[in-house]
């Protein structure tokens, strides 16, 4: 190998101590620079190694999570299927409640018409009785058999009034039966609402719609619901079926709601649990 054209500060032909020192210092600086570069490179390598270890740990954690999810897929699918089944059952129950409510409303409408007709016929019969009495009284002034005729006319009119009142009672009994069935539907809807975990569902909205519809029908018929927790026990409208922990002589839990008319008459008493006090 030829070194022509390259100056050699340590050439044997040139004895220059200062040049040699500068050459040694230059070599030392280059060595230090290389050492620093090597140290920085080692720092980068260590950092990359730590990052690689962290990524490896993350990959292992992700792999475990993936395996856990894969293991849960069958269970999740089963849970989803069960939830679909519960939703379908709830939807069918809502349809049954709505259908039952429509039937009760239709029957209640028929009873209302029959009741109004019976009331009108009763009023007509009472008016006929009053007219018969007046006519018999007039006849009594001119006929010796007027007293007997008056009694017969009054008896006939009373029979008609009693018939109309019997019809009215029959219609009212049928109406009371339908109202009791309606409040039973209301209790079923209320209990279904209490079992729901949240309010953000079409099932919840559907139940609220049925409940509002029932309350509207009850209000239209002039009755109101009794037996709410916190009411003071009243034997006229409440039927105690047991006791529970709570305020003395107060309704603690509703077993079945009751209905009372605006005039205070009871359609069906509320079955409740009454507090026994401390």
Alpha helices in 141-243 (DSSP H): 146-195, 202-220
Q: Are residues 161 and 53 part of one domain?
A: yes
Where is the domain boundary, 175, 195, 221? 221
Query: Long-range contact list for 174-179, CB < 8 A, 24+ apart?
Result: 174/107, 174/111, 174/114, 175/108, 175/111, 175/112, 175/115, 175/221, 176/267, 176/268, 178/104, 178/107, 178/108, 178/111, 179/108, 179/218, 179/221, 179/223, 179/259, 179/267, 179/268
Q: Identify the three-state secondary structure at position 174.
A: helix
pLDDT digits (tens, 9 = 90+) for 82-134: 666 666 666 676 677 677 767 766 766 776 776 677 667 667 766 776 776 66
In this model, does residue 274 exceed pLDDT 50? yes
pLDDT digits (tens, 9 = 90+) for 168-178: 677 677 788 88
Q: Which of 121, 136, 210 is nearest to 167 (CA)?
A: 121
Q: Are residues 239 and 204 part of one domain?
A: no
pLDDT value for 56: 84
Q: Are residues 201 and 88 part of one domain?
A: yes
Q: How many whole angstroms separate alpha carbon 240 and alpha carbon 270?
A: 8
Q: Are residues 184 and 107 part of one domain?
A: yes
- Residue 205 in any domain: the answer is yes
Q: Are residues 254 and 161 part of one domain?
A: no
Contact 182, 104 (CB under 8 A): yes
- Residue 20 in any domain: the answer is no
Question: Quick one: tokens of 211?
Answer: 């409940």
Q: Are residues 181 and 161 part of one domain?
A: yes
Range of the domain at 240: 223-278
pLDDT digits (tens, 9 = 90+) for 163-210: 767 766 776 777 888 888 888 888 888 888 887 766 666 777 888 888
pLDDT value for 49: 85
Looking at the structure of the chain, the number of domains it has is 2
Q: Are residues 258 and 209 part of one domain?
A: no
Whether pTM exceeds 0.75? no
Q: Are residues 238 and 134 part of one domain?
A: no
pLDDT value for 239: 92
Mean pLDDT of the chain: 76
Where is the domain boundary, 173, 204, 221? 221
Instruction: List for the chain the helix, strand, coil content (%; round to 5).
Output: 70, 10, 20
- Residue 16 in any domain: the answer is no
pLDDT value for 180: 86
Q: Are residues 107 and 124 part of one domain?
A: yes
Where is the domain boundary, 175, 206, 221? 221
Q: Are residues 230 and 260 part of one domain?
A: yes
pLDDT value for 231: 93
Question: Quick one: tokens of 37?
Answer: 């570069």
pLDDT value for 10: 46
Q: Are residues 188 and 76 part of one domain?
A: yes
């Amino acid at each position: 190998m030829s070194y022509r054209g390259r100056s050699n500060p340590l050439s044997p032909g040139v004895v220059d101590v200062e040049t040699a020192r500068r050459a040694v210092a230059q070599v030392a600086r280059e060595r230090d620079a290389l050492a620093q570069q090597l140290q920085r490179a080692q720092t980068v390598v260590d950092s990359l190694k730590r990052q690689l270890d962290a990524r490896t740990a993350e990959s292992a954690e992700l792999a475990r999570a993936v395996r856990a999810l894969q293991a849960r897929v069958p269970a999740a699918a089963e849970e989803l299927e069960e939830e679909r089944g519960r939703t379908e059952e709830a939807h069918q129950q809502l349809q049954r409640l709505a259908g039952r409510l429509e039937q009760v409303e239709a029957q209640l409408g028929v009873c209302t018409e029959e009741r109004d007709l019976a009331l009108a016929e009763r009023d007509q019969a009472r008016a006929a009785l009053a007219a018969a009495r007046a006519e018999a009284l007039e006849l009594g002034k001119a006929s010796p058999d007027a007293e007997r005729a008056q009694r017969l006319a009054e008896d006939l009119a009373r029979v008609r009034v009693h018939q109309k009142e019997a019809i009215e009672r029959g219609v009212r009994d049928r109406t009371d039966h339908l109202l009791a069935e309606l409040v039973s539907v209301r209790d079923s809807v209320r209990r279904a609402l209490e079992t729901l975990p949240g309010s953000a569902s079409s099932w919840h909205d559907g139940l609220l719609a049925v409940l509002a519809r029932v309350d509207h029908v009850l209000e239209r018929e002039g009755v109101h619901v009794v037996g709410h927790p916190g009411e003071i026990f009243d034997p006229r409208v409440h039927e105690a079926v047991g006791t529970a922990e709570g305020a003395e002589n107060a309704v603690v839990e509703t077993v079945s709601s009751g209905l009372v008319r605006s005039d205070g008459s009871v359609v069906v008493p509320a079955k409740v649990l009454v507090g026994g006090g401390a």
